[in-house]
């Protein structure tokens, strides 16, 4: 596995280098003792996402009408969307986690979507951000699971309805799958965003390289990667949404283990 | 063999993994479609399962793509 601080170490002199778009820039130097807590472009984009969410929710819901207007409808649809997801995957008592799951979904969605615009930085394209989110979910499952079920939480690793002879093996596999959850949960989001942005930059780079070449044939050929870039942008918007959805869905499935250990 | 050449060969080999993800995603949507055409009224209820399966399957292809990219640009 990559080290957690992996944040695109090789940064570039070449403007066509696809990695350099993930460079962290310090906007304001801040330090507490030894810790560098500088305000970076990544932090700025998270704040932008947060402010955009707050303004969107505040102005859409300012006039709370019984018959919703356009803005209010969108907020209600997003509410029902997440609430249904929780009901389906974690049961009705999972709704106590609604604020957490909704906040997580909207945060990841806005971070992904803001990153799709040129110039803007994608906060979720760094493994350290997604690992923090995934560890938060994982620790919440452990803490809430033990607080609610006590020792019964460990029935998660001792499933019912399995023959006693192979139960230890199944239990071991359950432990391994539980421990590897934050890894797969975070890498899935990060890898999709990271790979998508590199892909866009690569095709845009191909177009530039071909167009600036001397041969007229290659100049004409540059239209192909140019069109490809346009085709990829909607796909990446879809990925941005789907990955935020999947991140929230997996959160619900994991929280369902904390709510009902032993049968899944 | 030079290390630089081995890197490119490794990146190419890593991309073979995408074939598996391609088979998986194709199988997923094919099965969903054949099921949905038999019983269209049940199809919308399975949309979240479809997207979940798609993301889990597609992530494996992304992982192999990522290995290739890291070999090419970072390692």
Q: What is the pLDDT of residues A216-235, one digit of tens each?
A: 888 888 899 999 999 999 99
pLDDT at B21: 93
Nearest-CA distance B18 → chain A (Å): 13
Average pLDDT over residues A30-55: 90
Say how far apart CA A22 and CA A190 lie, in whole Å.
12
Q: What is the pLDDT of residue A193?
A: 92
Query: Looking at residue A97, what is its pLDDT?
Result: 94
Residue A233 contacts residue A116 (beta carbons within 8 Å): yes
- The helix (run of H) or strand (run of E) holding residue B24 is helix B17-38
Residue A249 near chain B (CB below 8 Å):
yes
Choose between B51 and A138: higher pLDDT: A138
CB-based contact B73 A188, cutoff 8 Å: no
Supply φ then ψ for residue A71, to 5 degrees. Answer: -65, -45
pLDDT-based confidence at residue A12 (cuts at 50, 70, 90): very low
In a domain, A202, yes or no: yes
Cα–Cα nearest to A253, from A147, A127, A148, A101: A101
Residue A33: the pLDDT is 81
- Measured between alpha carbons, how far is residue A207 from residues A184, A211, A220, B4, B50 in Å? 34, 6, 10, 25, 35
What average pLDDT score do residues A15-23 get?
Answer: 78
Contact list in B for residue A181 (CB cut-off 8 A) is none
pLDDT at residue A62 greater than cutoff 90:
no
DSSP chain A: ---TT-S-----SSTT-TTGGG---EEE--EETTEE--EEHHHHHHHHHHHHHHHHHHHHSSS--SS--HHHHHHHHHHHHHHHHHHHHH-GGGGGGHHHHHHHHHHHHHHHHHHTSSS---GGGSHHHHHHHHHHHHHHHHHHHHHHHGGGGGGGGS-TTS-TTTHHHHHHHHHHHHHTHHHHHHHHHHHHHHHHHHHHHHHHHHHHHHHTSS-HHHHHHTHHHHHHHHHHHHHHHHHHHHHHHHHHHHHHHHHHHHHSTT--
Q: Would the CB atoms of A8 and B54 count as touching at under 8 Å? A: no
More confident residue, A13 or A108: A108
- Structurally, how many domains does chain A consist of? 1
Optimal mutation site among B7, B47, B55, interface A, most CBs of chain A within 10 A: B55
pLDDT at A262 over 70: no
Residue-wise pLDDT for B5-63, tens only, equals 999 999 999 999 999 999 999 999 999 999 999 999 988 888 878 888 887 888 888 88
Query: pLDDT at residue A10 above 60?
Result: no
Q: Do B48 and A10 touch (CB under 8 A)?
A: no
The range of the structural domain enclosing residue A176 comes to 97-259
d(CA A128, CA A4): 6
Give dist(CA A258, CA A146) in Å, integer. Answer: 8
3-state secondary structure of B15: coil
Do B73 and A10 lie within an 8 Å CB cutoff?
Answer: yes
Residue A83 contacts B, CB cutoff 8 Å: no
Is there a domain that residue A209 lies in?
Answer: yes
Is residue A244, in this structure, part of any structural domain at all? yes
Say yes or no for a CB contact (<8 Å) between A187 and B63. Answer: yes
User: Are the Cβ atoms of B48 and A88 closer than 8 angstroms?
Assistant: yes
Q: What is the mean pLDDT of residues A65-85?
A: 89
When pLDDT is cut at 50, 70 and 90, the band that residue A263 belongs to is low
DSSP helix/strand/coil, B56: helix
In Å, the largest CA–CA distance within chain B is 59
Whether A172 is in a domain gets the answer yes
Q: Is the full-model pTM beyond 0.90? A: no
User: Which of B55, B58, B66 is nearest residue A194 as measured by Cβ atoms?
Assistant: B66
CB < 8 Å to B63, chain A: 187, 191
Q: b/e string for B3-19 if b means 16 or more Cβ within 10 A? A: eeeeeeebbeebeebbe
Measured between beta carbons, which residues in chain B are less than 8 angstroms from residue A192? 58-59, 62
Q: Hey, is the C-beta of A221 within 8 angstroms of any chain B C-beta?
A: no
pLDDT in tens, A139-150: 999 999 999 988
Which pairs count as long-range contacts for A146-151, CB under 8 Å and 24+ apart, including other chains?
A: A148/A258, A148/A259, A149/A258, A149/A261
Nearest to B59 by CA among A196, A247, A191: A191
Q: What is the pLDDT of residues A173-218, one digit of tens each?
A: 989 989 988 988 898 899 899 989 988 988 988 888 888 888 888 8
Q: Among A19, A88, A249, whose Cβ lies nearest the Cβ of B73?
A: A19
Percent of chain A with pLDDT over 90: 45
Cα end-to-end span (Å), chain B: 17
pLDDT surpasses 90 at A68: no
What is the predicted ipTM? 0.73
B56 contacts on A by Cβ (under 8 Å): 188, 246
* A5: confidence class by pLDDT, cuts 50, 70, 90: very low
A158 closest CA partner among A148, A150, A168? A168
The answer to whether A18 contacts B52, with C-beta atoms less than 8 Å apart, is no
- Kindly tell me if the per-residue pLDDT of A7 is higher than 60: no
- Residue A264: the pLDDT is 52
Q: Is residue A63 part of a domain?
A: no
Q: Where are the domains of chain B?
A: 3-74
Q: Of A15-24, A44-53, A97-106, where does mean pLDDT reach its minimum? A: A15-24
Fold (topology level) of B3-74? F1FO ATP Synthase (1.20.20)
Residue A165, domain member (yes or no): yes
Q: How far is B74 from chain A (nearest CA, A)?
A: 6
């Amino acid at each position: 596995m990559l080290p957690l601080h992996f944040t695109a170490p090789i940064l570039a002199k070449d403007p066509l280098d696809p990695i350099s778009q993930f460079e962290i820039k310090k906007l304001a130097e801040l330090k507490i003792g030894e810790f560098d807590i500088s305000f970076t472009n990544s932090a700025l984009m998270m704040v932008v996402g947060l402010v955009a969410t707050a303004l969107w929710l505040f102005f859409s819901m300012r006039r709370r009408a019984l018959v919703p207007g356009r803005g209010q409808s969108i907020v209600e649809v997003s509410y029902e969307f997440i609430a249904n997801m929780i009901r389906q995957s974690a049961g009705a008592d999972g709704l106590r986690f609604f604020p957490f799951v909704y906040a997580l979904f909207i945060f990841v969605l806005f971070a992904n979507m803001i990153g799709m615009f040129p110039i803007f930085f994608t906060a979720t394209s760094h493994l350290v951000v997604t690992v923090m989110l995934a560890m938060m979910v994982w620790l919440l499952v452990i803490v809430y699971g033990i607080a609610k079920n006590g020792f019964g939480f460990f029935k998660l690793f001792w499933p019912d309805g399995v023959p006693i002879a192979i139960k230890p093996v199944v239990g071991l596999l359950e432990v391994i799958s539980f421990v590897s959850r934050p890894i797969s949960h975070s890498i899935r989001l990060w890898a999709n965003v990271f790979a998508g942005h590199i892909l866009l930059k690569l095709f845009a780079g191909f177009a530039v390289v071909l167009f600036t070449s001397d041969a007229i044939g290659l100049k004409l050929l540059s239209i192909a990667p140019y069109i490809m870039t346009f085709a990829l942008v909607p796909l990446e918007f879809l990925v941005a949404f789907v990955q935020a959805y999947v991140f929230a869905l997996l959160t619900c499935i994991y929280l369902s283990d904390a709510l009902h250990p032993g049968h899944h | 063999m030079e290390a630089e050449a081995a890197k490119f060969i490794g990146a190419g080999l890593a991309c073979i993994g995408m074939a598996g993800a391609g088979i998986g995603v194709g199988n997923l949507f094919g099965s969903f479609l054949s099921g949905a055409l038999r019983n269209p009224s049940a199809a919308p209820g399975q949309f979240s399962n479809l997207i979940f399966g798609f993301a889990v399957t597609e992530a494996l292809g992304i992982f192999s793509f990522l290995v290739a990219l890291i070999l090419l640009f970072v390692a």
